[in-house]
Amino acid sequence: MAYPQLMRGAMATYIELQKQIESLQREAETLRAKERKGVIAQMKEAIAAYGISAGELGLTSGRGRKAAAPGRKTRTPRAAKRNGGSAAYADANGNTWGGRGKRPNWLREALANGAKLEDFAAR
């Protein structure tokens, strides 16, 4: 019967193609890894040459928040708008508090140690 021979021929071709696919995928991954190293090196060079920051690239910064894309306006918190963007209270270590919401730990600790709130009033 000719039918089983036809099937064997088709299966052999299919298996051969699968092997070729696997071989090409391995080759592609090897080439990708090699090219990737070169691309990363070029990117690092360009970043250093032009002084590009992570924020300008739109990468995550600070506390897990994404930086604004270049040219995009960021929202200013309402409290900062009311206060003119300045802190109402500050200490010598650079800690600040706008005067709204829960007092930060640095201020609570200082007050517990005998300091007065007026001592931290920003001028």
What domains are defined for the chain?
Answer: 1-72 (no CATH), 75-120 (4.10.430)
| DSSP3 helix / strand / coil % (the chain, rounded to 5) | 55, 5, 40
Here the tokens at position 91 are 């200490």
- Sequential pLDDT tens for the chain (123 residues): 455 555 555 677 888 999 999 999 999 999 999 999 999 999 999 999 988 888 888 886 555 555 555 555 555 555 445 555 578 888 888 889 888 889 999 899 999 999 998 888 876
pTM above 0.85, yes or no: no
Here the tokens at position 60 are 């995550």
